[in-house]
Structure 1
Amino acid sequence: MNLKEIFSISIPLTAATLALILGIFIHRIHAKITGTEKRKIYHPVGCTVFHLAFNFHRLHDAMADLAFKHTSFRLLSFFRSDVYTTHPPNIEYILKTNFGNYGKGSYNYDILTDLLGDGIFTVDGEKWRRQRKIASYEFSTKILRDFSSGVFKATAVKLAGIVSKASASNQSIEIQDLLMKATLDSVFKILLGIELDGLCGTFEEGTRFSDAFDKASAIMVYRYVDVFWKIKRFFNIGSEAVLRKSIKVIDEFVYKLIKSKIEQLNSSHADLQPVKKEDIVSRFVELKETDPKYLRDIILSFVTAGKDTTASSLSWFLYMICKHPHIQERIAKEVIQATQMSDGASIEELAAGITEETIDKMHYLHAVLTETLRLYPAAPVDGKICFSDDTLPDGFSVKKGDMVAYLPYAMGRMKALWGNDVEEFRPERWLNENGFFQPASPFIFTTFQAGPRICLGKEFAYRQMKIFSMILLGSYKFKLSDEKKKVNYRSAMTLQIEGGLHLCAFPRLSPGK
C-alpha cells in the first residue's frame, strides 16, 4: 500500500471522528440547556474538621452521632472533602468490588510514613503486593503458627504469675498496661526471636521503646484533625517535636535489634551452626530481604498490628465480663470443659492443656471476644483514598483525592445493622442454635477489614486473645477495683481505655466455680 492509499483511508476516518465528537458536543450543550444532563450529587455535609478537633476527646462517639443522622456524610476541611460511611454496600465496594480505585494514597502516606515508613499499612501498588505476598505466605505456615502459640502461652503464664502475686497481697492491678507489655513481648519474640521482657521490666530499652511508640501512635492520629501539623513539623514545635524525639528512640532501638539479628544469622552460617528460623525477621532475611530500612518498616507495621490491637481488645473484654459476671463464669466453665483440667491444676498445667483442638472448642469465648470487638473495635475508623472520580452504590459521588472512610465503632452501635438490642452486650447473637460460632458479613462487622486487604493476622489475634483469656479466667475471677468509675477510651490509633483498667483478681478455689 502506497502513501496515497494510506491517506485516502485516514482522511474519511478522521472526518468521521470529528463528526462524532461534534455530535457529542452538541448533545452535551443541548442537555445543559434543557436540564436533562445527569448531575452528580454528593453526600450531605456532616461536620467540619474543627468539629472533630473540638470533640477529639470523644472522637468516635462524635462520629457515631453524625452517622446516626446520615448513613454517609462529608467532612469539610481546607483542602479536601472526606466521606464517612456506615453503609455496607459502600464498604464492600471500596474494599472489594472496586478495590483498585481505593487505597492509602499520598494523604495517608504523608501522615503515617514518619512512623511506619513504607510498611504494609502505608503503601499501595507493587510495594503493598510484595509485602502482602511474603507476609501472607509466612502467616500460613505451620512453623509460625506453632511457634506463635508457644510464645502466647509462655507470655500468658508469665502474666498470670504477676496477677497471682497481686492477688496474694490483695493489690489491684492495672491490667491494660500489663497486657500492652505482654503483647509487645509476644510480638518481638515472634518478629525477632528476642526476649523483650517488658512484663518484668528487666529490659529498660524496651520500656523506653514502648513509651515512645505509644506517644508516636497518638500523635499520628491527631494529625488527621490537626490542620497545622505540617507547619509544626517544619518548625519542630509542639506535638511534632515530641513525635520527632519519639521516633528517634524507636529507630535507635529497632535498628540495633535488626543489626544484631543479621549478625547472628551471618555468624551461624559462617560457623555452619544451623539456627532454627521460626521468627519472622529471620525468615525474611533468608529470602534475601536484608535492607535495614525495609525490615524496620515491616517490624513497626507488625508492632502496630499486633501490640495495641490485641491488648486493647483484651482490656475491653475483661471490662465487659466484669460488668457481666455470669458471662465470665460461663467462659471459665468452657475453659475447664475444653481442657479437662481437674481441681487444683496449676497455671502451667492449664497452659499445657491448651492445644489447637481445645482452642477450637471455645465457641462461647470466641463469641464474647467478637461481641467485645463489635462495640469496641481495635481500629474504630479506617479510610482509603479515592484515586479517580467515582459513584458509590448509594448513588452519591466522590471525587479523586477524597478520603472514603468506614466507621466500625459507629456501625457496632447501629440498630439497622444489629437490631433493637444493639446496646446490649449479648454474645449469644454470634451463636447458632447448636451453640457454634457463626460469623457476620465482614462488610457489617468490619473490625478486620475485608477484601484483598483483609487482616492477615486475624486468626493470630483470635488465637492470642483466646490463649490469654483461657489462662487468666481458668485461674482467676476478676472484678473492677471501682465499680462506679466511668470507663472511657482515649483517641489513638487503637481504641485504648483512658487511664487503664484497674482490676482485682481472686483465685478460683475450684475451676469454673
Structure 2
Amino acid sequence: MALFSSSPELLVLSILVVVVLGGLYIIKCRSSSQNNPSSSVPRNWPVVGILPSLVLNLHRLRDYVLEISSTVHTLKVGIATIRIFITSHPENLQHIFTTNQANYPKGEEFAEIFDVARGTLFTVDGELFRRSRANHQGVLSNPLLVGLMIKSCRDKVEEDLLPLMAHLATTRAPVDMSDLMVRLVFDLNVMSVFGMDPARLSSQNHDRMPPPMGVANAMDTVMEVGFLRHIVPPSCWKAMRRLNIGQERRLSAAQAVLRNFAADMIAERRRIKKKGLLIQVGQEPVDVMSSYIDDPSYISNDDNLLQATLITYMIAGRDTVSTTLPWIFYNLSKHPHVVSAIRDELAPIVSRKAPSAAAAPTTTTMLLFEAEEVKPLVYLQAVLLETLRLYPPIPMVRKSVAAEDVMPTGDKVCAGDIVLVSLQSTGRMEAVWGPDSQEYRPERWLLKDGRLRHVPSHKFPAFVMGPRLCLGKDIAMALLKIIVASVVWNFDVDVLDGQVIRTKLSCLLQMKDGLKVMLNKRERSSM
C-alpha cells in the first residue's frame, strides 16, 4: 500500500513531485473555483493520488473533510490504491461501531501510528480488547478511585483554580483560558493515575512563571504527530522515523519524556513499598497505578506494557475535559443568555448552601459547587452536551475493513479499506439536528417538560459508541460540571475580540493559539 519508497533519495523525489503537482493543482483549483465554487471533489492524480488536494487544504483540513464526507465516498490514493471511505451518516456509524463492529477493527496500522500505546486498550482488537476493556472497566468503576477523582477536582478548584483566577482578574491582563484549563486537568489527571499532584496549576504561582508542562506537551505531540501519520503515506513517515528527522524526531523525544515520566512514577512507588512506608491497612493508594503495578501480566518485559497502559490512561483521562473546557467558555462568552440561565439554575443551590453569605453582600468569599449538587442540573448538562455536539474532543475516528461489506447507505467497502468516521460532521448534520444545526443552542437538548432529551449515540457520537464507548464518560461529565459551575458563578469570562480561533492539526480538537480572555470577579452583591 506504499506510495513512497523507503529510500531517502526516492523520498525526496516523491516530495518534489507532490510540490510540483500541488502547485499545478492549486492553479487548476483557482481557475475551476471561479466557474464552480461549490466543487469540493478532490482529483486523483497519477502516482500521488489525492495528496496534492490534501496539501492544498491542510490549513483547513477538518472543514475539507466535512465537505468531502458528503460528496465523496471511496477514494484512490496513488497507484497503490489506498481506498478511503469517509462517512458521517448515523446509520453507517451504528453499523460500524455496533451492528457489525467486528468487521471494523482499528487494525495493525493504527497500532503502529500510536506505538507509544501499543498493546493497550487504545490499540488492540478482538479478544485482547474485550479482556482489556473489562479490566479497565473494573478499575474505573472502583468507588474509591471515582471518589478520589471527584475530591481531587473539588479540592483543586477550591484551593488553586478559583484563587488563581481571582488573582489574575486583579491584574487586568489577558489570560489564556486554554492554558489554564490544560494545567488544571493535567494536575487532576496525574493525581488520579499516579496519586501525586504535579502542581502545574497552583495558587502559589502568582508572582512567577508557571512550571513547565513538558509531560503535557509530550502528550499533545503524540496526538499531533499521530494525526500527521494518519494522512501521510505509511512508508513516508516510517522512513522519517528511521532517519529520525522532522516530526518523527519530535515524536521520538516526546515518547521518551512520557516513558521516563511513567518509569519514574513506577520506580518511586516501588521504593515506597519496599521501604514499608505503606504498612497499615487502608493506607494503600487507590490511584490507577496501584491497580496494575503488581499485576504479572503488566510488569513483564521491562515494564513496557505497564508504562504504555499508564500513558494511555494519562492521554485518555485528559482528552474530553481539557479539550472541551475552552470551547465551553468560548461559547458562553458569545451567548450571555446561556450564562444567565446557568446562574439561574445554580441560584437555588447557593441560597441553600450559603444563606449567611447571601445575607452579607460585602463578602468576597467564592462559592464552590459539589458534585452531588450539580449532578441533577439539566440546563448545565445541556450546555455541556451542546458543546460536545459541535466540538467533539476527538473529531474523527479511523477504522480498517476486515472483509467486504455494504453500508446501510448502499456504499461498498472492501477488505483493507480505511474508514474515516467524521464525528464532528455527524454532530452538525442538518438532517439530524435541524436547520439550525450549526448554531450553539443548548435548549435543543430540553424537552417541553424540562427533562433532558435522549439522543442515541450514533447521532451524538462525541463519546463514540458500542464496545468502544468512552469508559470515563460519567466521570468526565461530573468534573466538567464542577469546574464550569464554579467558574461561571464566580467570574465573568469575556473572550477578547479579534482572535482567530483555529484548531491544531491534531487527533484532538484543540485550539491552536489558545483562548485569550479577560476575567472579572463577580461581586457578591451581583449574585
Structure 1 and Structure 2 fold alike (TM over 0.5): yes
Answer whether contact 2:90 2:426 (CA < 8 A) is retained. Answer: no
Deviations 1:376-415 (A, max 9, x none): 1100000211112222222222111112221111122221
How many Å separate the matches in 1 of 2:167 and 2:89?
A: 48
Of 288, 298, 309, 2:309 maps to 298
Q: Name the structure 2 match of 1:260.
A: 268
How many Å separate the matches in 2 of 1:221 and 1:177?
A: 21
Answer whether contact 1:46 1:73 (CA < 8 A) is retained. Answer: no
The answer to whether 1:220 aligns with 2:235 is no
How many Å separate the matches in 1 of 2:66 and 2:525?
A: 40
Secondary structure of the equivalent of 1:490? coil
How many Å separate the matches in 2 of 1:233 and 1:254?
A: 23
* Counterpart code for 1:66: I
Of 192, 195, 203, 1:193 maps to 195
Q: Name the structure 2 match of 1:66.
A: 68
* Counterpart code for 1:359: V
The answer to whether 1:494 aligns with 2:508 is yes
Q: How many residues of Structure 1 are paired with residues of Structure 2 in the alignment?
A: 465
Q: Name the structure 2 match of 1:86.
A: 88
Answer whether contact 1:93 1:393 (CA < 8 A) is retained. Answer: yes
Indicate the larger mover: 393-402 or 378-387: 393-402
- Give the superposition deviation at 1:223: 1.0
How many Å separate the matches in 2 of 1:332 and 1:262?
A: 47
How many Å separate the matches in 2 of 1:274 and 1:362?
A: 34
In the TM superposition, what are the counterparts of 1:363-402 in structure 2 within 5 Å?
363-402=378-417
How many Å separate the matches in 1 of 2:100 and 2:211?
A: 44
* Counterpart code for 1:350: L
Of 424, 433, 443, 1:409 maps to 424
CA 1:464/1:355 → structure 2, altered by over 3 Å: closer, same or farther?
closer
Q: Name the structure 1 match of 2:19.
A: none
How many Å separate the matches in 2 of 1:368 and 1:221?
A: 28
Deviations 1:189-227 (A, max 9, x none): 001101111113799997222222222321111111122
How many Å separate the matches in 1 of 2:146 and 2:244?
A: 43
- Give the superposition deviation at 1:50: 3.6
CA 1:436/1:338 → structure 2, altered by over 3 Å: closer, same or farther?
farther
How many Å separate the matches in 2 of 1:98 and 1:84?
A: 17
CA 1:49/1:365 → structure 2, altered by over 3 Å: closer, same or farther?
farther
In the TM superposition, what are the counterparts of 1:273-284 in structure 2 within 5 Å?
274-284=282-292
Deviations 1:336-394 (A, max 9, x none): 3234344369898733x4132x1222211111111111111100000211112222222
How many Å separate the matches in 2 of 1:452 and 1:346?
A: 50
Indicate the larger mover: 270-279 or 257-266: 270-279
Answer whether contact 1:205 1:253 (CA < 8 A) is retained. Answer: no
Q: Name the structure 2 match of 1:433.
A: 448
Secondary structure of the equivalent of 2:69? helix
Q: Name the structure 2 match of 1:328.
A: 339
How many Å separate the matches in 2 of 1:196 and 1:454?
A: 29
Q: Which runs of 5+ in 2 are unaligned?
A: 1-40, 45-49
Answer whether contact 2:110 2:123 (CA < 8 A) is retained. Answer: yes
Of 312, 319, 325, 1:314 maps to 325
Indicate the larger mover: 72-81 or 361-370: 72-81
CA 1:75/1:450 → structure 2, altered by over 3 Å: closer, same or farther?
farther
- Give the superposition deviation at 1:266: 4.2
How many Å separate the matches in 2 of 1:112 and 1:431?
A: 39
Q: Which runs of 5+ in 1 are unaligned?
A: 1-43
CA 1:55/1:45 → structure 2, altered by over 3 Å: closer, same or farther?
closer
Deviations 1:268-313 (A, max 9, x none): 4884565233211112235555512222112221222122431121
TM-score (norm 1): 0.85
CA 1:141/1:272 → structure 2, altered by over 3 Å: closer, same or farther?
closer
How many Å separate the matches in 1 of 2:127 and 2:263?
A: 25
Of 344, 351, 354, 2:370 maps to 354
Percent of residue pairs identical: 26
How many Å separate the matches in 2 of 1:439 and 1:132?
A: 26
- Give the superposition deviation at 1:76: 3.0
Secondary structure of the equivalent of 1:488? coil
Indicate the larger mover: 306-315 or 268-277: 268-277
Q: Name the structure 2 match of 1:230.
A: 238
How many Å separate the matches in 1 of 2:416 and 2:298?
A: 34
Answer whether contact 1:265 1:275 (CA < 8 A) is retained. Answer: no
What CA RMSD, in Å, does the superposition of the two structures yield over aligned residues? 2.5
How many Å separate the matches in 2 of 1:480 and 1:204?
A: 22
Secondary structure of the equivalent of 1:278? coil
- Give the superposition deviation at 1:444: 0.9
Answer whether contact 1:371 1:430 (CA < 8 A) is retained. Answer: yes
Secondary structure of the equivalent of 1:84? strand
Secondary structure of the equivalent of 2:119? coil
In the TM superposition, what are the counterparts of 1:29-178 in structure 2 within 5 Å?
48-70=50-72, 72-74=73-75, 76-77=77-78, 78-113=80-115, 115-157=116-158, 158-178=160-180
Q: Name the structure 1 match of 2:469.
A: 454
Secondary structure of the equivalent of 2:228? helix
Secondary structure of the equivalent of 2:517? strand
Answer whether contact 1:196 1:203 (CA < 8 A) is retained. Answer: no
CA 1:379/1:250 → structure 2, altered by over 3 Å: closer, same or farther?
same
TM-score (norm 2): 0.83
The answer to whether 1:239 aligns with 2:247 is yes
CA 1:112/1:50 → structure 2, altered by over 3 Å: closer, same or farther?
farther
* Counterpart code for 1:143: L
Answer whether contact 2:345 2:377 (CA < 8 A) is retained. Answer: yes
CA 1:125/1:505 → structure 2, altered by over 3 Å: closer, same or farther?
same
How many Å separate the matches in 1 of 2:519 and 2:153?
A: 21
Secondary structure of the equivalent of 1:161? helix
Answer whether contact 1:46 1:74 (CA < 8 A) is retained. Answer: no
Secondary structure of the equivalent of 2:114? helix
Secondary structure of the equivalent of 1:224? helix
Answer whether contact 2:105 2:125 (CA < 8 A) is retained. Answer: yes
Deviations 1:441-463 (A, max 9, x none): 10011110111111101111111
- Give the superposition deviation at 1:422: 0.9
Greater gyration radius: 1
Answer whether contact 2:393 2:509 (CA < 8 A) is retained. Answer: yes
Q: Name the structure 2 match of 1:33.
A: none
Secondary structure of the equivalent of 1:69? coil
Secondary structure of the equivalent of 1:331? helix
